[in-house]
Amino acid sequence: MPFYHKLGKIPKVKHTTFYKDDNKSLYREELISSKGFSGIYSNVYHFNLPTAVKSVKELSPVKDTSWPEAPVLYYHFFTDNKKTGGNFINSRNEYLTNPHCKISTAIITEDTEDFYRNALGAEFIFIHHGKGKLLSHFGVLPFSEGDQLVIPRATTYQLKFDDYDNNKIMIIESDTAYEIPKHYKNEYGQMEEHAPYCERDFRPPEYLDPKDEKGEFRIILKANNRLFEHIVPHHPFGVVGWDGYLYPYAFNIKDYHPKVGRIHLPPPVHLLLMTGHFIICNFVPRLFDFYDTAIPAPYFHSNIDSDEVLYYVEGDFMSRKGIKEGSITLHPGGMPHGPQPGKTEESIGAKETKEYALMIDTYNPLKPTINVKETLDKDYAKSWLENGKG
Ligand SMILES: [Fe+2]
């Protein structure tokens, strides 16, 4: 969605006759649009009616993992400790949720022929470990470690991994679309020179693999916590061509160009994407502040109206102790947060950091689930007591 893209065969003029090779039967045009008819859209050309459904059945809902008595507190938990596997649809474990944002991780140990569609949520998927392809009716998008996949709401897709030995992903579901921040774009929609990325850093689907196949294809459709099985009579990727701005795309965290300041710069300089209710930042290796008495570690701060989540990817995180790859910290609004004892002093004079992490700042409070309780670092909430005593 950062730019116009086109794949396969499309008619010269939209909303006109577009015949298959037999010169008799029509391809079926579908406008996939956002914000009614006022947001970005794509026109997609199907072999068959995209509306055909043979049967619909409600499945067991997403497992209730709510933890109503979870206190408002600092949290650190180890998502890698949750070893449950499964396929790319059923392996997800939710950790933090609010009505607009759900943060999950998944260890994917098996393939499936099923298709998946999140009817009510756009999905952001961080590929922590694994390599493979995102398949959808928009085409084939190869991915590897560090990729961040942005999948528009209601996209029918599959994740196919090259193997099933070591695959770990982090998923953020949003009830509003992921968007490039407006201040990164000029009045023509092109990325500004000061943005931390440009168009060539974003990868759209590369090629179409049109499937004109009849049969029984199973789509698992998610609508918040309800799951449905839709059996459709045509292959969901039976698309001969499309064009527009709405499609899944990839951006690798290692392609993010960080900004460096004379003194400590705040998190908005690490901004990657925005939604209506939260933002995502990329923290990547960078030189530290260059003023001679600058303190590279962040100052203590209170984000009075947002919760702050960090997902740790790799490297030594400068302001935290006891963090491992796959750790998540939650610092809720309503409480100050900052470096642990010794970390401020340790950062003075440091020249650079090698850390990779993602930050999610939500405007509504997040609720920890029982998966947080199960994987909790129980000492974290008291880890700011100096010498363990205060
Ligand atoms: Fe913070």
User: pLDDT for 182-235, tens place per residue?
Assistant: 999 999 999 999 999 999 999 999 998 899 999 999 999 999 999 999 999 999
Ligand 1 centroid – CA 357 distance (Å): 13
Ligand 1 centroid – CA 94 distance (Å): 22
DSSP strands (E only) in 63-121? 75-78, 92-98, 101-107, 115-118
Ligand 1 centroid – CA 64 distance (Å): 30
- Strand 115-118 to 214-223 pairing: parallel
Ligand 1 centroid – CA 187 distance (Å): 31
Q: Which residues pair with 252 in a beta bridge?
A: 147
Ligand 1 centroid – CA 267 distance (Å): 7
CA–CA dist 317, 352 (Å, integer): 11
193: left (phi over 0), alpha (psi -120 to 50) or beta: alpha
Ligand 1 centroid – CA 359 distance (Å): 9
Ligand 1 centroid – CA 361 distance (Å): 9
Collect the ranges in the chain with pLDDT lower than 70.
1, 318-319, 388-390
Alpha helices, H only, the chain: 343-347, 370-374
Ligand 1 centroid – CA 337 distance (Å): 6
Residues 324, 131, 148: CA angle, nearest 5 degrees:
65
Task: Report which DSSP code applies to 70.
Answer: -
**Burial code of 198-219, b = ≥16 C-beta within 10 A, e = fewer?**
eeebbbbbeebebeeeeeebeb
Residue 319 confidence (pLDDT): 65
Task: Report which DSSP code applies to 179.
Answer: B
Ligand 1 centroid – CA 99 distance (Å): 22
Count the residues in the chain: 390
pLDDT tens-digit map of 347-382: 999 999 999 999 999 999 999 999 999 999 999 999
Residue 2 confidence (pLDDT): 76
Residue 158 confidence (pLDDT): 98
**Burial code of 6-42, b = ≥16 C-beta within 10 A, e = fewer?**
ebbebeeeeeeebeeeeeeeebbbbebbbeeeeebbb
Ligand 1 centroid – CA 74 distance (Å): 12
| Number of Cα atoms under 13 Å in the Cβ half of residue 94 | 19
Ligand 1 centroid – CA 301 distance (Å): 6
Ligand 1 centroid – CA 218 distance (Å): 43
CA–CA dist 37, 42 (Å, integer): 11
Ligand 1 centroid – CA 91 distance (Å): 30
Overall pTM > 0.75: yes
